[in-house]
Structure 1
Amino acid sequence: MPRPAAGFTLVELILVIVLLGIVGTATFSYLGLGAQMYADAADREKLLSQSRFAVERLTRELRNVVPNSVRVSSETGKNCIEFAPLISAGRYSPGIASGAVTLFSPAGWTELTSYSQPLFMTVYPVDASTDIYQQGRVASLLNLSATGNELSVTASFATTPRDSPSARMYFFGLPVAYCQEGAELYRYQRTGLDQPLSGRTLMAEALDTEFYVAEPPFQYQDSLVLTRNSVVHIRLAFKSLFADRLVFNQEIHIPNVP
């Protein structure tokens, strides 16, 4: 009696192909879901890291500025906050009209005398942000000489300002600005008090532009309202590739009195 031929029937082959297709589809969907979850988590982590860095950097710089040097500006597609970074401060004697004064600091003046960038000086109080940028109370021609804890300063003002009630001077560097431009946040620095913003550096990206239709990202309440402090409100919103929104809403207090 002849033996039956070995092999698979057409029905069996079709069933195997169907089963392999089902298993392959399920496996691919499982692996695809895992890859999507990983990409989602990685994008959120990247977004969180860069947004935290940008907000922390801006916050630290704003906490060390010349009082009343903060100003905000808005134009189409661009919202900026600008300020003069404080380098050092102290009380002077005799009166500012003499053109040559002496300041004292227990910590000394190493940071100030070793400052390599352009340095400016203003007499407290700075009445408004225009005083810094229009140089109404700013001396840029400085001659500094430190001996121990004493600093001798020879300064030249375009118009001699009135003396400070507390004999207070501030030394500051070139103004800095943070600007939201579309979906990016840039940091600028002026090359002079009367020069335009330049040298921009990208600080963060993936900002949610829809978030700024109602309110700008930076708001400033100056000392004309608050006697002892100015307040800066920061509202930065970021959007991930998966349309998640991450919002930083921060309030920074800037002291206006020595």
Structure 2
Amino acid sequence: MSKPLMINPRRRGGLSLQASGFTLVEMVTVVIILGILVLGVSSFLLFGTRIFIDSTSVEQVMSQSRFAIERMTRDIRNAVPNSIRVRSSGDDWQCIEMMPIASSASYILAPIKPLPSADTALVMQASDSAPLTKDQQLLVYPLRPADVYTSANGTTGKLFAIKEITNSALTNATDVEFERSVQFDEMSPRQRYFGVTGAVSYCFEKVTDELAQLNRYAGYGFNNPINQPPPANMGAGVLMAENIVNTIATNNPMAYSPGTLQNNAIVHLNPLFDVQGQSLQYHHQVQVINVP
């Protein structure tokens, strides 16, 4: 049976319907609870975002540093023997310079003392490396940097500019023509020659009192008397790495040990990187295994 409607005798011609809703205390309580939940969730999201940003920054610095060290290692290992030299300003920059090998093989006949001067030479072309070309200079038996970083336009020495390259009648051989009659100072014990085009430098440079950066310089000429960053004559460098702790004045990031009869030359790379307030230092040694 349906329940009868309750008629309110105090309200003229009206019906009494019971109304429902929220009190002010209940609404304030819900708002407080929702605020606590939002604060907790946002704190969790901010914490996770901060961890992601920090880990990304660390990975970026580590990847950048590994790339820079690997690139330096490859250039150093491909350097002409005894062409590496390290210089420093004391506190603003430190540079390592080397002469990359553009081509290399053995010579068959060359005007080397005590043979008389001549304007031609007969050399082999290596089948597994880049060929000797006329835009290169021919270098024989370098024993010190002065043999490498010198003029290629003289008549006696160890480095001479090439005028023309022509194929020889001998298999895998090439006739080299020089600009003039020349005479090499010394014969290589292994009859080895190097074709070179220009030097390359890596420089740790001061940015602030706390930080430094690594730049690579190339194409600044064959014989730069002073290898140092701008405003010298090395041109614009390519940025290789940032976030390096500036230890140029106190603990140089590079050191060079020249080769001896018993040991190969070694380059010591010890840059210190700053990663989110933490230090990451490399202790990397590169052997220069090429011999003159």
Structure 1 residues 128-181: Cα deviation after superposition (integer angstroms, max 9, x where no partner): 112212346321244322334112223358984422242332111210001111
Secondary structure at the counterpart of residue 112 of structure 1? coil
Aligned in 2, Cα 1:29/1:234: closer, same or farther, shift over 3 Å? same
Structure 1 residues 58-85: Cα deviation after superposition (integer angstroms, max 9, x where no partner): 1111111110000111113211111000
Aligned in 2, Cα 1:141/1:112: closer, same or farther, shift over 3 Å? closer
Secondary structure at the counterpart of residue 70 of structure 2? helix
4+ residue segments displaced more than 6 Å: 1-5
Secondary structure at the counterpart of residue 193 of structure 2? strand
**1:236 matched to which residue of 2?**
271
Alignment of 1:83-122 (within 5 A): 83-92=98-107, 93-96=109-112, 97-99=116-118, 100-105=120-125, 107=127, 111-113=131-133, 118-122=135-139
Identity of aligned residues (%): 31
Distance of 1:157 and 1:251 partners within structure 2: 42
| TM-score scaled by length of structure 2 | 0.75
State the one-letter code of the partner of 2:174.
L
Structure 1 residues 210-254: Cα deviation after superposition (integer angstroms, max 9, x where no partner): x4443211111112x4644110111223223x2233322211111
Determine which structure has more spread, i.e. the larger CA radius of gyration. 2
State the one-letter code of the partner of 1:234.
L
Alignment of 1:195-210 (within 5 A): 195=224, 196-209=233-246
Alignment of 1:133-212 (within 5 A): 133-135=149-151, 137-147=158-168, 148-155=171-178, 160-166=183-189, 167-182=191-206, 183-195=212-224, 196-209=233-246, 211-212=247-248
Q: Would you say how many aligned residue pairs link Structure 1 and Structure 2?
A: 251
State the one-letter code of the partner of 1:91.
S
Distance of 1:236 and 1:26 partners within structure 2: 42
| TM-score scaled by length of structure 1 | 0.84
State the one-letter code of the partner of 1:79.
Q
Q: Which runs of 5+ in 1 are unaligned?
A: none
Distance of 2:200 and 2:29 partners within structure 1: 71
1:63 to 58, 77, 80: 77
Q: Verify: 1:253 aligned to 2:287, yes or no.
A: yes
Distance of 2:82 and 2:64 partners within structure 1: 29
Distance of 1:104 and 1:232 partners within structure 2: 31
State the one-letter code of the partner of 1:221.
S
Distance of 2:281 and 2:235 partners within structure 1: 28
